[in-house]
Structure 1
Amino acid sequence: MTTRPAVDVAVIMRKVRTASHWQPWRWELAEVVADEQAFGTEPRLLHQDADGERWLHPGFRAELFRDEAEGYYLNVTTPAPAWFVLWRMEDEPSIAPEPIPRPLIVTLSYNEAARWLDAQETVENVPAPPHIVDWMGEFAQAHYEPEQKKKRKRPESFKSLSDRFGQPASVSTGKKYGGGEGRG
């Protein structure tokens, strides 16, 4: 079994007050931190006050896959390289009296995050620290091969016209059939 480069992380989500009367609270991704054994395996409330809450979700592994090298390259070359976290709201009656956000996947691949967004998932990002960006950049440099552009021999506009049988064809702008002048 091949081991992939990976880093163990934990996700911190926060509940923040909004100015909306209809939705006084919203959840957002706060940060991605290195996972520690002391965090345990279950989500836990870190802080709660009148302004909101912070929840720790431990136990995630961000792996680097060769077939996602382009996604890492795109992330590294942006002005703000980031962690991407897919999360959903879930009822956790044994943990909290109301639904809480539940991170499902953490990645560094720009392409993978884009696929999740295309699937209408909730995906947020937070800045990745420099040592993670360097690690991801080294992997991308070692495994990303830009697709070679195919060179065309001659522009499409200079190609000769042919019908579906390969016979020469022509285009006319004059009227070939139908009525015209002289009807009276």
Structure 2
Amino acid sequence: MRRVRLANRWQPYRWELHEVVPHEEAFGSEPRRIFGDDHEERWLHPGYRVELYADDAEGYYLNATVDTPCWFVLWRMEEAATVAEEPIARPEVVTVSYHDAGRWLDAQENVEQVPAPAEVVAWFREFADAHYVPEPRRRKRPESFRRLEDRFGNPASVSTGKKYGGGEGGGGG
């Protein structure tokens, strides 16, 4: 995660996703500051695992078939400072599923994306190809075959005969 200083007195900085990298044992298990100067800080958050599930194969397929497949990261601000002088942004979940990212965005969570490397894309694309079965397209019935309903959803009928008014030559009006 990266904290970038802003030229704004109301909001002196903002947090954003910088990158997702493969885990290495040397990273340890706790978040730590790996870079800092007057303009930005970068924090390493090790130990996130990305797992693929057959029931989300469509989400991986959708990601794999766009121009720039990516990682999606849901992150939240700490409630209280734990490893720094003030609260920091912490990733909660890392995924490659469009469906997961969409649900999180619908819930108004902080979700950001960065491009995924080719070997990661090949990994989840292969999984999606093995598990994703597109739903067959259903033929849409022409509107002329649609059942008539009134505005309350009750069956409606159409007649061509006159229901009100006088007969032929009856006048009255």
Normalised-by-shorter TM-score class: 0.7 to 0.9
1: CA distance, partners of 2:54 / 2:74: 21
Counterpart of 1:127? 115
> What code does the residue aligned with 1:42 have?
E
TM-score normalised to structure 1 length: 0.80
Shift of 1:84: 0.3
What is the Cα-based RMSD across aligned positions, in Å? 2.8
Percent identity reads 57
Distance 1:128 1:171, change over 3 A: farther
Shift of 1:156: 2.6
> What code does the residue aligned with 2:67 have?
P
Counterpart of 2:66? 78
> What code does the residue aligned with 1:118 have?
D
Moved more, 93-102 or 116-125: 93-102
Distance 1:111 1:162, change over 3 A: closer
> What code does the residue aligned with 1:54 have?
R
Q: Deviations over 1:16-71 (max 9, x none)?
A: 12233321210000000000111111100001110110000001000011011000
How many pairs are equivalent? 166
1: CA distance, partners of 2:22 / 2:121: 14
Which of 101, 104, 129 is matched with 1:116 structurally?
A: 104
2: CA distance, partners of 1:151 / 1:143: 25
Contact 1:91 1:98 in 2 (8 A): no
Contact 2:81 2:88 in 1 (8 A): no
Counterpart of 2:35? 47
> What code does the residue aligned with 1:76 have?
A
Give the unaligned 5+ runs of structure 1.
1-12
Distance 1:52 1:171, change over 3 A: farther
Which of 114, 124, 129 is matched with 1:141 structurally?
A: 129
2: CA distance, partners of 1:161 / 1:69: 39
Give the unaligned 5+ runs of structure 2.
166-170
Contact 2:71 2:114 in 1 (8 A): yes
Q: Deviations over 1:153-183 (max 9, x none)?
A: x4131457589998x93156x8848xxx977
1: CA distance, partners of 2:104 / 2:117: 23
Counterpart of 1:4? none
Please identify which structure carries the higher strand content: 1
